Amino acid sequence: MNRRFALFALPALALLVAAAPPKKAAPRPAAKPPAAAPLGDVVKVAMVTALGTIELELDHKHAPITVENFVRYVDTRRFDGMNFYRVMRLPWGTPPNGIIQTGLSGDPRKVFKPIAHEPTSVTGILHKAGTLSMARNAPGTATSDFSILLSDLEGFDADPKSTNPELQAGYAAFGRVSAGMDVVRKIYDAPLSPTKGLGILKGQMLDPPIKVLTVRRINAAQ
């Protein structure tokens, strides 16, 4: 009986196999995106604005934390579409004297976590005309917003001898404009609203803001 069952079982198994749906081929693993180009001592970036292109040189050698944070925003294209929204025109010195400012304005959908503060007393990058400097509240709160200086501003540099914690820390400079200061000047000269802005920002808000179209590393994989 066992033998008879075995003989009859073989054709039945063949029918089951024939009726079974064909096996699907295993899906191929998704191709990994190309790795971002590594950062050298200097990282070059082109920022295309509605008024022209500003080229930046980021000092990765001396301000690695700040530059790596900046490049992360560049490579994820989170800077695309942001605005230059502020111009601070100082009432002393020879114009242009002050800063222009851009960034994501704390947009929770786009900003990464704040980064550690890199003072000028450590990096040696001083606040001269054309310098890039991170905006912040308290030291260690900088995320995406940054300024471009139109003039030398020594008061932005860290002063370790000061008894004021804010002056001790200063602001984190991390690079400079290598080309396009004429575009920076156009933004500086653009119209401001007399009423927009809170506190010290009142009267410093661009109206309308100046759009940043794209921000890309130069000579890096797009």
The DSSP output letter for 142 is -
Which ranges of 62-156 would DSSP assign to H, the alpha helix? 64-75, 120-123
Domain borders along the chain are 42-217
The CA distance from 166 to 216, in Å, is 32
The CA distance from 167 to 157, in Å, is 8
36: Cβ–Cβ under 8 A, 6 or more apart, which residues? 75, 220, 221
Does this model's pTM top 0.95? My answer is no
At 118 the pLDDT is: 98
At 38 the pLDDT is: 81
Give the H/E segment covering residue 174: strand 173-179
* Fold held by 42-217: Cyclophilin (2.40.100)
The CA distance from 57 to 45, in Å, is 6
| CA distances for 176 relative to 16, 17, 25, 137, 207, angstroms | 73, 71, 54, 22, 26
Provide the residue-wise pLDDT of the chain in tens; the chain has 222 residues: 444 333 334 333 333 334 445 555 555 555 454 556 689 999 999 999 999 999 999 999 999 999 999 999 999 999 999 999 999 999 999 999 999 999 999 999 999 999 999 999 999 999 999 999 999 999 999 999 999 999 999 999 999 999 999 999 999 999 999 999 999 999 999 999 999 999 999 999 999 999 999 999 998 544
The CA distance from 177 to 130, in Å, is 5
